[in-house]
Structure 1
Amino acid sequence: MASGQPDGMGDVTNESDPRLLGTYLNDHLAGAAAGADLASRIARVHQGTPSGPVLARIADAIEQDRSTLLEIMEILEVPRRRHKMLLGRLAEKAGRLKLNNRLLRRSPMSSVIELESLWLGVNGKSRLWRTLRTVAPRDDRLRPRTELFDHLLDRARQQAEDLEDLRSRAVDEVFGARLQPA
């Protein structure tokens, strides 16, 4: 390119910095911590409802995915940045403080917002697995895990589909009667 920048986003150089992958993984670990907390809480809230078993399965899988990310970080000798995990968990808890026209109890809209937030997190995690799948052929430590990344991508796709189904039902329950013409 005429600007001297490589094709792409324009904010990278041709020099590889091994710290970048570590930063990337720690950022995703922070999101994984927040996502695991949110998924666990949503599953508890919906325990005993028709959505409960699906949410419990998703929460378990999200926790497994977080553990898998930690294992990958160990394989790559990436140190955990605990302050990032703490910030991720604090951000999830701060997200509960949103104004929802209810002071002491959950708003009916809470499930919609929480499911959408979890869906966003699962899709971000999917990008993580896709990135690692792309890097794997060039890294001897990751190359043997190519099939694992494919499996994790499939699982993230299924989680996103399940969450969208649950979100759609929650939208119908919360807004359905009000959205129909009088």
Structure 2
Amino acid sequence: MAIYLNDHYTGATGGLELFQRAAGAKKGGKEEVVLTDPARQVEEDRDALAQIMADLGVSVDRTKVALGWVAEKAGRLKTNGHLFSRSPLSDVLEAEAMLLGVLGKAACWRSLRALAYTDRRLDAAKLDTLLERAEHQNAALEELRVAAVTRTLAPKTPPSN
């Protein structure tokens, strides 16, 4: 259980960094508003996971979290066709990464919810709330992802017949 929860906590730390970076890249734009609230929620969700871990007597593995943080930073170093500027493809890849993170988080909440039937240390109602919020985040991110795909990957001119 400790490894499972610490893996999710590490992922939540990297996910939080990604959400905050994505929101910061859209400063002043419509997408900043779309990303700012989920970024705050992801931080609250990570805090909720830390509380669940404490309730279960599981301590946060700071070394693993630090390595996850470094991995998120290293993930930014990729060839994207732009050396010093942000690539338009970054919007698509970040939306997909955030979506995968939220799906993973929802799976964790569902797993803990299943265990709540036999483990009174787990608050089933709180887990239901966290799962519902993850589902809302999933829907919002899917809209953001589709918009980024359409904007970035669609042909600029209609195909000729």
Shift in Å at residue 24 of structure 1?
Answer: 0.4
Once the two structures are superposed, residues 120-152 of structure 1 have per-residue CA deviations (whole angstroms, 9 ceiling, x without a partner) of: 00000000000000011111211xx10111111
Equivalent position to 1:167, from 142, 145, 149: 145
Deviation (angstroms), 1:80: 1.1
SS in 1 for 2:53: helix
2:36 to 38, 56, 60: 56
The list of structure 1 runs, each at least 4 consecutive aligned residues, that deviate by more than 6 angstroms after superposition, is none
The CA deviation at 1:48 is 1.2
Superposition map of 1:14-25 within 5 A: 21-25=1-5
Structure 2: gaps spanning 5 or more residues = none
Q: Does 1:81 align with 2:56?
A: no
Alignment counterpart, residue 116 of structure 1, candidates 72, 75, 96? 96
CA deviation after TM superposition for structure 1 residue 39, in Å: 0.4
Taking only the aligned residue pairs, the percentage that are identical comes to 44
Aligned residues: 160
User: TM-score normalized by structure 1?
Assistant: 0.85
Selected match of 1:152 from 117, 130, 149: 130
- TM-score, normalized by length of structure 2? 0.96
Give distance in 2, aligned partners of 1:165 and 1:180: 23
Output the amino acid matched with 1:58: P
The structure 2 residue matched to 1:137, chosen from 114, 117, 129, is 117
Larger RCO (alpha carbons 8 Å, 6+ apart): 2
Pairing partner for 2:20 from 40, 64, 69: 40
How far residue 47 of structure 1 moved from its aligned partner, in angstroms, is: 2.1
User: Please, which of 24, 42, 45 is the counterpart of residue 65 of structure 1?
Assistant: 45
Q: Displacement, 1:60?
A: 0.4
Task: Give the secondary structure class of the aligned counterpart of 1:138.
Answer: coil
> Which of the pair has more CA radius of gyration?
1
CA RMSD of aligned residues (A): 1.1
Q: Deviations over 1:82-121 (max 9, x none)?
A: 1111111111111111110111111110011001000000
Task: Report the AA paired with residue 119 of structure 1.
Answer: L
For residue 10 of structure 2, give the secondary structure of its aligned residue in structure 1. helix
